[in-house]
């Protein structure tokens, strides 16, 4: 086997040193076959209501176990799938699988929702709302149990009027829209109330650091979101201190390892009971 060396960050793979570019190429090639080879599965992480302490939703998080590359984290393969347009088919598979799974778990209350991450690439597909409604019909899941998480990049795109028309359509279908990773990108705050958004998810980087700057961003995000009538979800909560502080700031819902790691449905061991501040 040839040992190749490259500049920048190198990944050790099969005793070969791959450059970043070579790694991307092998990920792209393996991704092309991943769907038909049935290499994807989904983990579910609960979202917990801040006042009642119950599970209000599960977020579907895509996992890839490649026969060639082993486990590849979503932060690595999602951007590559987005670049190559493979995200359209992968995203459709993920939505169908998650909707079916939630629907089939009849012990889960019908008020519990499923949150799916959706890429811009999918939203701007001409038939995106039709695809969503076909999945809801096929799986039997009520449309008001589906939430789509989109990032702030919807504000950067040139196709904003097209995107807001799609969000209008989804809203009319009673599908929820959440802005994911809020605070990390460019958000047109004035337009936050022009488009149909139900909640913002404060990015985990702010929750994890929780320094002075992060507090300012979180407080501002909560103020703006609440003034516009949106709910606020905080992700990445790992400690009881973070939870207590976010509760004091007025966050509506929590997500993070402190409560539960992503796993299989249904989630049976929520750790919030160990927190004396939470309702019994």
Question: Site residues (CB under 5 A) for Mg ion?
Answer: 117, 149, 180-181
Q: Which one among 26, 112, 117, 187 touches ligand C2E, defined by CB under 6 A?
A: 117
| Region binding ligand C2E by CB under 6 A among candidate stretches 64-72, 190-198, 244-252, 253-261 | 253-261
- To the nearest whole angstrom, how small is the minimum distance from the Cβ of residue 260 to Mg ion? 15
Which residues, at least 6 apart from 27, have a Cβ–Cβ distance to it below 8 Å?
69, 72, 76, 77, 80
4 vs 85, beta carbon nearer ligand C2E:
85
Site string for ligand C2E, 229-248 (x = CB under 6 A): ------xxxx----------
- To the nearest whole angstrom, how small is the minimum distance from the Cβ of residue 228 to ligand C2E? 21
Q: Among all chains, which residue has been given the structure tokens 């501002």?
A: 220
242: left (phi over 0), alpha (psi -120 to 50) or beta: alpha
3-state secondary structure of 148: strand
Which two three-digit tokens encode residue 217? 């961003």
Any alpha helices (H) in 60-194, and if so which ranges? 74-83, 87-104, 120-123, 128-139, 160-172
Strands 11-13, 16-18: pairing is antiparallel
| Region binding ligand C2E by CB under 6 A among candidate stretches 27-35, 100-108, 111-119, 191-199 | 111-119
- Nearest Cα residue to 230 out of 195, 273, 185: 195
5 vs 71, beta carbon nearer ligand C2E:
71
Q: What value, to the nearest 5°, has the Cα angle with vertex 32 and ends 25 and 116?
A: 105
Do residues 40 and 92 touch, judged by C-beta distance below 8 A? no
Class of residue 127 by CB neighbours under 10 A (exposed 0-12, middle 13-18, buried 19+): exposed
Residue 192 touches ligand C2E, criterion: CB under 6 A: no
Q: Which one among 53, 250, 262, 266 touches ligand C2E, defined by CB under 6 A?
A: 262
94 vs 224, beta carbon nearer ligand C2E:
94
Enumerate residues 60-89 that contact ligand C2E by CB under 6 A: 61-62, 73-75, 78, 87
Binding site for ligand C2E (CB under 6 A): 45, 61-62, 73-75, 78, 87, 91, 94, 117-119, 149, 180-181, 204, 235-238, 255-257, 262
């Amino acid at each position: 086997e040839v040992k190749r060396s490259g500049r920048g960050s190198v990944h050790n793979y099969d005793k070969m040193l791959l450059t970043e570019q070579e790694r991307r190429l092998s990920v792209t090639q393996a991704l092309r076959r991943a769907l038909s080879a049935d290499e994807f599965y989904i983990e579910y992480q609960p979202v917990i209501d801040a006042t009642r302490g119950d599970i209000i939703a599960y977020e579907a998080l895509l996992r890839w176990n490649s026969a060639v590359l082993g486990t590849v984290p979503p932060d690595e393969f999602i951007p590559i799938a987005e670049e190559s347009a493979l995200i359209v088919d992968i995203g459709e598979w993920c939505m169908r699988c998650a909707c079916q799974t939630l629907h089939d778990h009849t012990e889960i209350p019908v008020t519990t929702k499923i949150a799916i991450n959706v890429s811009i690439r999918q939203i701007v597909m001409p038939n995106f709302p039709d695809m969503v409604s076909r999945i809801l019909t096929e799986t039997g899941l009520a449309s008001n149990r589906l939430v789509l998480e989109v990032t702030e990049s919807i504000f950067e795109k040139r196709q904003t009027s097209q995107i807001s028309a799609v969000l209008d359509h989804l809203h009319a279908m009673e599908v929820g829209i959440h802005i994911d990773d809020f605070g990390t990108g460019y958000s047109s705050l004035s337009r936050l109330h022009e488009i149909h958004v139900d909640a913002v998810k404060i990015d985990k980087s702010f929750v994890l650091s929780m320094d002075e700057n992060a507090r300012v961003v979180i407080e501002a995000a909560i103020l703006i979101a609440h003034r516009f009538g949106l709910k606020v979800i905080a992700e990445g909560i790992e400690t009881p201190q973070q939870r207590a502080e976010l509760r004091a700031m007025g966050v509506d819902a929590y997500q993070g390892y402190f409560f539960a790691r992503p796993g299989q449905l249904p989630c049976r061991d929520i750790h919030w009971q160990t927190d004396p501040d939470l309702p019994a």
